[in-house]
Copies of this chain bind each other. A is one copy, B any other.
Amino acid sequence: MFRRLLTLDQAKKLIDDLGLVALGSEEVSLREAHGRILAEDIVSSLDIPPFDRSTVDGYAVKAEDTYGAEENAPVYLKLAGAVNVGEPPTVGISRGETAEIVTGAQIPYGADSVVMIEDTEQKNNIITILNAVAKNENIMRRGTDIEKGETMLLKGQKVGSREMGVIAATGRAKVRVFLIPSVAVLSTGNEVTEPGRDLPPGRIYDINAYSLMGAVFESGGKPIHMGIAPDEEAQLRETLEKALSLADVVVTSAGVSVGPKDMLPQTIDALGKPGLLFSGIAVKPGKPTTMAIAGRKPVFSLPGHPASALLMFHLIAKPVIQKVAGRDSTEINTVRAFAGKRMFSAKGRRTFVMVNIDRDRRDRLVAEPVETGASGAITTLAKADGYLEIPENLQFIDENDEVLVTLLSSPE
């Protein structure tokens, strides 16, 4: 069996070299597109506004008819009709004429500017212009907001509130978005029991399947809960094969008990070609992290400790799921903070420290290390807002050093 302990950078490079791409795309109603990733550029098929449009309530005129008009020397124009909003003009104007118009209505034929209603007086069919306008004044010309053919949004952009509005403006009611990858999540280990069941003596409840399902959502995937795989090679393999048939990506986490040391890597390697990509990364914590490719599908085996499993998911599995989801995997959620105390690295290994973020009395963000030892797996999970990284060549990060913290959950 191919087995290598890689540095984190080597592991990431191997993953990059796979050249993973988005699964495919589907057309959805714009109403349902929120949170999805565009699988097409949005190009406007029309000028916006689609016609010359008044930006005020007032009177459409030929500007030259108003030249020199002022309060003491008004100009008198003949009212030729009115233009309503939402309707094409049924009136045109000639020299000496004007048409009533409201904000948003189309400029009638013959007019080249609009006098604001405040600068006019109305009496019968004679409109008194008290102020001159320049050509194009108070008009928004066709296509000045967006021109037909203009690219408004790019493939890969996430559809949020603003993007929904922009797409609607072009008249599109449907939009092509990337498929959401399904991610099978399973736990292994004889000591874990499904929440909701009675807890037999000597057992603990499964944590990882749930935190990892949450992390799958936060990566742009849709989790499929496979439950707990029995700690026996043939059954484990059967469960993994089922997971592989149901999902685009498989994520397992190891119970501490999982059999002979190499059982999981071996079983995962045997799922399909090309097989194991790496088994073991020189990081602390998270060393046993394993990844294989079966066909085109990535399969991950993460550590059993809940905080380590979530950390390694973020470092290794999340970028892969994001890529398969068509998401920009550089879309990473970080905050700058100050180290609350000195934090040491593990000798020669890239070290990650789980931290809790809080504000100090000076309103600075402070990152306090959270114990990841065996003494508090769930406490760690509950408290760790994110993690910081100590490079291999650094012995420690000192108190008050500025650090970059990657958040484990998105704020919203």
Contact between A412 and B218, CB atoms less than 8 A apart: yes
Q: How many residues of A contact B (CB 8 A)?
A: 95
CB-CB under 8 A from A190, the residues of chain B are 84-87
Q: Please tell me which stretch of A195-203, A281-289, A341-349, A394-402 contacts chain B, meaning at least 4 of its Cβ atoms lie within 8 angstroms of it.
A: A195-203
Nearest B residue to A172 via CB reads: B195
Nearest B residue to A212 via CB reads: B161
CB-CB under 8 A from A168, the residues of chain B are 195, 205-207, 209-211
In the complex, how many angstroms separate the beta carbon of A373 from the nearest chain B beta carbon?
A: 8
In the complex, how many angstroms separate the beta carbon of A387 from the nearest chain B beta carbon?
A: 12
Contact between A217 and B35, CB atoms less than 8 A apart: yes
Contact between A102 and B257, CB atoms less than 8 A apart: yes
Contact between A85 and B257, CB atoms less than 8 A apart: yes
Residue A39 CB within 8 A of the other chain: no
Given known A-B contacts A161-B212, A168-B210, A412-B218, A204 and B49 have beta carbons under 8 A apart = yes
Contact of A203 among B86, B205, B411 (CB under 8 A): B86
Given known A-B contacts A210-B167, A379-B145, A173 and B202 have beta carbons under 8 A apart = no
Given known A-B contacts A161-B218, A412-B331, A378 and B257 have beta carbons under 8 A apart = no
Contact between B88 and A159, CB atoms less than 8 A apart: no
Contact of A31 among B88, B106, B225, B382 (CB under 8 A): B225
Instruction: Name A142-167 residues within 8 Å CB distance of B.
Output: 144-146, 152-153, 159-167
Name which of A35, A168, A374, A382 has the most chain B CB atoms within 10 A of its CB. Answer: A168
Residue A126 CB within 8 A of the other chain: no
CB-CB under 8 A from A192, the residues of chain B are 86
Interface SS of A by simple majority: loop
Question: What's the Cα separation between A326 and B48 when bound, in Å?
Answer: 40
Residue A169 CB within 8 A of the other chain: yes
Name which of A212, A331, A378 has the most chain B CB atoms within 10 A of its CB. Answer: A378
In the complex, how many angstroms separate the beta carbon of A173 from the nearest chain B beta carbon?
A: 3
CB-CB under 8 A from A189, the residues of chain B are 85-86, 104
Residue A55 CB within 8 A of the other chain: yes
Interface residues of A (CB under 8 A from B): 30-31, 34-35, 46, 48-51, 55, 84-89, 102-106, 140, 144-146, 152-153, 159-174, 189-197, 199-215, 217-218, 223, 225, 231, 255-257, 306, 310, 331, 333, 374-379, 381-382, 384, 408-412
Query: Can you list 24 contacts pairing A with B, beta carbon distance less than 8 Å?
Result: A34-B214, A34-B217, A50-B199, A84-B190, A86-B191, A87-B190, A87-B201, A106-B202, A144-B375, A144-B376, A145-B375, A146-B379, A152-B382, A160-B410, A161-B310, A162-B214, A165-B381, A166-B207, A166-B381, A168-B209, A169-B377, A171-B199, A173-B195, A411-B412
